[in-house]
Amino acid sequence: MNKNNRDKHVFLIRFFDRQYVENFLNNGEIHFNPLQYFIDLENNHGDTTIGDTLEGRVEGNISPKNDMVLAIRKSGDKKTPTLIPNIKASFHIDVPNELKKTIGISCFSWLDKDDFVEDEESKYLKLTQPAIKRLRDFNKEQRIPIIIDANKLFDRVGDKKARADDVSYYDPNDIDSIMKLAGEEDNIAKVVFWKRIKYSNQKECRFILKLKDTDEKNNIYVGNLRGVCNVVTNFDDLKFNR
């Protein structure tokens, strides 16, 4: 994980359906879904909060607005290419379909330093109102929020062969950045950690693992986490020592 990112992060947070809370706290159960699961969530169920039809795919837009045009000519032809004006198109860097079914991801979110402010009376740190709104907007299903000591979780998950990193958010109209990614070796491994900028409020950190390294239910177990987690009952009352 990029050191600059580590310096700004404070805690991880994840929202759990009630029936999974005890298993996470007592056994460290972490569930992984294949990339294809998130594609299907949007395509089949219209979920654009957790679902993402472009999961495992980076898309670049070509249009006059970003100073890109298409030109064509026959192979071997030395004539000046014919420009196609006012056309819109896109290109993709894509994880192969078979890998979208076998690469598992488990998603957490960051609480960063700029998500906290000092309470004037107690001098404790509390969540800012924008941070509280962001978390509530993401949790419209009223799942249970749990705050986690990231370093301790990273150590345990790393022992299970999982890789952890922050998601990078990109602008599909930023063709220079996308072309740079396209020219890099092993860019498929990076595509798994790229999402469109419209998802940037998620501040996502994800764990990646081959599903063959999980159990039959696509879970891993990292041991009791009660000493490194806090279950949140009310974001407004949440306070921390500096």
Q: Which two tokens stand for residue 153?
A: 């979780």
For residue 86, pLDDT beyond 80: no
Using 50, 70 and 90 to split pLDDT, how confident is the model at 37?
Answer: very high
pLDDT in tens, 137-188: 999 888 999 999 999 999 999 888 899 999 999 999 998 899 999 999 889 9
- Torsion (CA) 135, 140, 143, 146 in degrees, nearest 10: 0
SS3 at position 53:
coil
- Cβ neighbours around 60 below 10 Å, total: 23
SS3 at position 57:
strand
Q: Cβ(30)–Cβ(24) under 8 Å?
A: yes
Helix (H) or strand (E) holding 83: strand 82-84
Using 50, 70 and 90 to split pLDDT, how confident is the model at 215?
Answer: very high
Using 50, 70 and 90 to split pLDDT, how confident is the model at 1?
Answer: low
Q: Which residue is associated with the tokens 């594609």?
A: 39
Q: Cβ(204)–Cβ(180) under 8 Å?
A: no
Nearby residues of 127 by Cβ (< 8 Å), 6 or more positions away = 111, 115, 116, 117, 135, 235, 236, 238
Nearest to 108 by CA among 3, 13, 234: 13
CA 23 to chain centre: 23
- Cβ neighbours around 13 below 10 Å, total: 24
For residue 122, pLDDT beyond 90: no
Nearest to 56 by CA among 13, 14, 104: 104
Q: What is the pLDDT of residue 240?
A: 79
Q: What is the pLDDT of residue 66?
A: 67
Using 50, 70 and 90 to split pLDDT, how confident is the model at 6?
Answer: low
CA distance 126 to 149: 17
CA 127 to chain centre: 21
Percent of the chain at pLDDT > 70 equals: 95
For residue 191, pLDDT beyond 90: yes
Q: What is the pLDDT of residue 25?
A: 97
If you ran DSSP here, which 8-state letter would residue 63 be given?
Answer: S
Helix (H) or strand (E) holding 34: strand 33-34
Helix (H) or strand (E) holding 45: helix 35-45
Mean pLDDT across the chain? 90
Q: What is the pLDDT of residue 68?
A: 67
